[in-house]
Amino acid sequence: MAETEPSMIDVGARLAAEALIVDVDGFEGPLDVLLMLSRTQKVDLRQISVLALAEQYLSFIDKARDLRIELAADYLVMAAWLAFLKSRLLLPPDPEEEGPSGEELAAHLAFQLERLQAMREAAAQLMARDQLGRDFFARGITEDVTRVRRVSYTATLLDLMQGYARLRTKDDFRPFVMDRDAVFTMEEALARMRPLLGFAGGWTDILSYLPEGFTTDPARRRSATASTFAASLELVKEGHAELRQGDTFAPIQIRRKEGRDG
Amino acid sequence: MAETTTEPGEESLFDAPPMGEQERMVEAILFASAEPVSVRDLAGRMPHGADPAEALVHLRKRYEGRGVQVVKVGDGWAIRTAADLGFLMQKETVETRKLSRAAIETLAIIAYHQPVTRAEIEEIRGVSVSRGTIDQLLDMEWIRFGRRKMTPGRPVTFVVTEGFLDHFGLESARDLPGLKELRAAGLLDNRPPPGLGAASDEDEDDDQDDMFEDG
Amino acid sequence: MAETTTEPGEESLFDAPPMGEQERMVEAILFASAEPVSVRDLAGRMPHGADPAEALVHLRKRYEGRGVQVVKVGDGWAIRTAADLGFLMQKETVETRKLSRAAIETLAIIAYHQPVTRAEIEEIRGVSVSRGTIDQLLDMEWIRFGRRKMTPGRPVTFVVTEGFLDHFGLESARDLPGLKELRAAGLLDNRPPPGLGAASDEDEDDDQDDMFEDG
């Protein structure tokens, strides 16, 4: 297994330990130090002697202390834990003792080292891949997708008729509603809606049936809206129309019910 | 990645890479460059002895009829989307809006009084008709130019289109509800407005004559 | 320009354009974009009934061995120059921020163990992960937050992004180098330290499923 001379290991370990001491900042934590030390054993990580590794680490910490190098708490915690592990591994197992055995703990440490080593190698393989912007390239001249907004205008026949009627009555015709107060009765709404319903075709917002002169003034608009709504319900009750509303507060739409003689 | 790649080691110092390889190089450079690249720049970037001009001829041919084209832009060469596929670079969103009151009224006048001139529309509306309103209706293809009026200045007229009839579910402009029906529908007062006859059916022409001869 | 172009008028509303034409369209869209485009986005931009997935198969084949390649990146498709021609592109080379050793390791751990929590990354590296390292990877858009773990505290997880796959030329996280070997060796198992109980045994399967669902 260890084909090198014992003295060689010592030399190697010493050199490694010295390198550590000079450059302790270069390590990424105690696990990194352990991984470094484990290389001196020159064996597969799966066959590593955790006991020997623990001893190497503890001597590394001792040396660092001798040289009065300040070590981060992590390193000392690891040292304490390895000292504990070492005692577990050396002493016969106490049947009273709870918790994992020394072998289990050592196996886990070996696993951690192997896993870290594997991640290092994977990282190196990843970084060795061809990379975008270095080895292969994306399109230099890109064409953005331009968003074209197209507005489509619509109108209904009823809009057209109301528009035309508005023009024809502008000068000399005052809508009869203008002479009354701000009340538009349900009877008036019914009388207005009955003939118009046939022209609207499909679903139409009931608000489009509000009479001329009742759409701007809030009081008039309220009255007309209420009576138009009541009239719509009446028409539905009579079986002449259908109502629908897509959502709460969405426009209420009406259309003539097909197949019924108005 | 590409099996056709020649080993760099196989190239002697003065042998240019095979033409197929040069074509690949030009293709990659044109693709990745942020600006069109001149033949001179291509030559500067390609191995010694390469002939980018010839490679461009081959590459251009290869892209003939493809979704992108190798085109000359000023002194340089670039890869661009084929002209007929420009529409793929646009995303259209359609927004439905109600036609403005001015447009509805103008449209109604044209529908009821066609063929009608702009001056006549303004006469009926009592306000001038903006160019934009007419343009909008023309754009929507709901109105089109009719024949010119045989009056002084020979003004153009407007008439409604098939598209208009389709949209409003009418067989012909004659199916528009006449004044009688508007009145029955409660949209017009019962007493006929003085001077205006029923703007429907055969009366229509007369109406217009009446209306506009006086005006 | 292109003889293969069909007249738009010849296409009926529901007939997709011929496959050759669809291939041109996919080609144009992929060339126009620096970012990978998903099959779904392609379909959204192409005429109704088009089958971009099939067109991609043809297009990919067409560009085999050429100077640019059609590559799959996560859910998307992109055109990239062939890696062997990188030497021509010194001008386009982007200097990426040099990543620290900690950042590179953290990135690899996230890629191979995703979705992975910060505590798990720290367990693997044996050292705490600085906020700056995670922030840098998030900034580069190589990692993003995944969904929370169903363990006490519901910690957030990290996963790699499509940008990561794109940068390293990977079709999916499944194509990470050595992934199979690492998994077979049990080195990607979530093995808790002994004595802490097997709190995350059931999670383990989920982890792996996640990886393949997301990949």
Residue of C nearest to A123 (CA): C108
Mean of the pLDDT values across residues C32-36? Answer: 91
DSSP state of C130: P
For residue range B156-186, what is the model confidence (pLDDT) as tens digits? Answer: 999 998 888 888 877 777 778 777 777 777 6
Q: Which residues of C touch A36 (CB under 8 A)?
A: none
Determine the Cα–Cα distance for residues C212 and C215; give it in Å rounded to an integer: 5
Specify the higher pLDDT residue, B118 or B13. Answer: B118
Mean of the pLDDT values across residues C77-99? Answer: 86
For residue A222, the model assigns a pLDDT of 85
Mean of the pLDDT values across residues B77-90? Answer: 88
Q: Is the ipTM, as predicted for this complex, more than 0.90?
A: no
For residue C5, the model assigns a pLDDT of 45
Residue of C nearest to B78 (CA): C31
For residue A168, the model assigns a pLDDT of 77
Q: Are A253 and A245 in contact (CB under 8 A)?
A: yes
The mean predicted confidence, pLDDT, of chain B is 79
The strand pair at A252-256 and B157-160 is best described as: unpaired
Specify the higher pLDDT residue, C97 or A123. Answer: A123
Specify the higher pLDDT residue, C132 or C9. Answer: C132
Residue of A nearest to C30 (CA): A139
Q: How confident is the model at residue B193 (pLDDT cuts 50, 70, 90)?
A: very low
Q: How confident is the model at residue C214 (pLDDT cuts 50, 70, 90)?
A: very low
Which residue in C81, C89, C178 is closest to A125 by CB distance? C178
- Percentage of chain B surpassing pLDDT 70? 78
Q: Which residues of C touch A142 (CB under 8 A)?
A: 32-34
Residue of A nearest to C41 (CA): A145
Task: Among A35, A82, A105, A132, pick the best mutation site for testing chain C contact (most C Cβ within 10 A).
Answer: A132
Structure tokens at B131: 């160019």
Residue A123 pLDDT greater than 60, yes or no: yes
Counted residue by residue, chain A has a size of 262
Domain C19-88 falls under CATH 3.40.190.10 = no
Question: Chains touching chain A at 3 or more Cβ pairs under 8 angstroms?
Answer: B, C
The strand pair at B90-98 and A252-256 is best described as: unpaired
| A222-228 contacts, C-beta under 8 A, 24 or more apart | A223/A182, A223/A183, A223/A184, A224/A184, A224/A189, A227/A184, A227/A185, A227/A186, A227/A188, A227/A189, A228/A184, A228/A189, A228/A193
Task: Among A53, A115, A120, pick the best mutation site for testing chain C contact (most C Cβ within 10 A).
Answer: A115
CATH of B97-214, one of 1.10.10.10, 3.50.30.30, 2.130.10.10, 1.10.460.10: 1.10.10.10
Mean of the pLDDT values across residues C97-118? Answer: 92
For residue B209, the model assigns a pLDDT of 37
Determine the Cα–Cα distance for residues A229 and B187; give it in Å rounded to an integer: 19
For residue range A201-235, what is the model confidence (pLDDT) as tens digits? Answer: 778 888 888 887 788 788 888 888 888 898 888 88
Say if residue A43 is exposed, middle or buried (CB neighbours under 10 Å; 0-12, 13-18, 19+).
middle
CB atoms closer than 10 angstroms to residue A244? 11
**C201 CA to centre of own chain:** 28
For residue A178, the model assigns a pLDDT of 45
Inter-chain touch A131–C169, beta carbons under 8 Å: yes
For residue B108, give the 3-state DSSP assignment.
helix
Specify the higher pLDDT residue, B50 or B12. Answer: B50
Specify the higher pLDDT residue, A213 or B128. Answer: B128
Which residue in B112, B126, B168 is closest to A164 by CB distance? B112
Q: How far is CA A141 from CA B43, B79, B96, C31, C71, in A?
A: 20, 8, 35, 9, 18
Chain B closest-CA separation from residue A208 CA (Å): 12
**Are C19-88 and C97-214 in the same CATH fold?**
yes
For residue range A142-182, what is the model confidence (pLDDT) as tens digits? Answer: 776 676 677 777 788 888 888 888 887 765 444 444 445 67
Residue B200 pLDDT greater than 60, yes or no: no
The closest of B169, C8, B68 to A158, measured between CA atoms, is B169
Residue of C nearest to B27 (CA): C67
- Percentage of chain A surpassing pLDDT 90? 9
Specify the higher pLDDT residue, A98 or B18. Answer: B18
- Which residue bears the tokens 């590593």? A48
- Which of A8-22, A136-150, B106-120, C160-174 is predicted least confidently? A8-22
Residue B190 pLDDT greater than 80, yes or no: no
Inter-chain touch C2–B29, beta carbons under 8 Å: no
Residue A193 pLDDT greater than 70, yes or no: yes
For residue B165, the model assigns a pLDDT of 84
CB atoms closer than 10 angstroms to residue C94? 11
For residue A115, the model assigns a pLDDT of 93
- Which of A155-169, C77-91, C117-131 is predicted least confidently? A155-169
Inter-chain touch A168–B97, beta carbons under 8 Å: no
Mean of the pLDDT values across residues A78-96? Answer: 84
For residue B13, the model assigns a pLDDT of 56
Q: How confident is the model at residue A20 (pLDDT cuts 50, 70, 90)?
A: low
Q: Are A166 and B112 in contact (CB under 8 A)?
A: no
Mean of the pLDDT values across residues C160-173? Answer: 94
Q: Which residues of A touch C79 (CB under 8 A)?
A: 138-139
- Strand order of the β-sheet with A252-256 is A204-205, A252-256, A241-245
Q: Where are the domains of chain C?
A: 19-88, 97-214
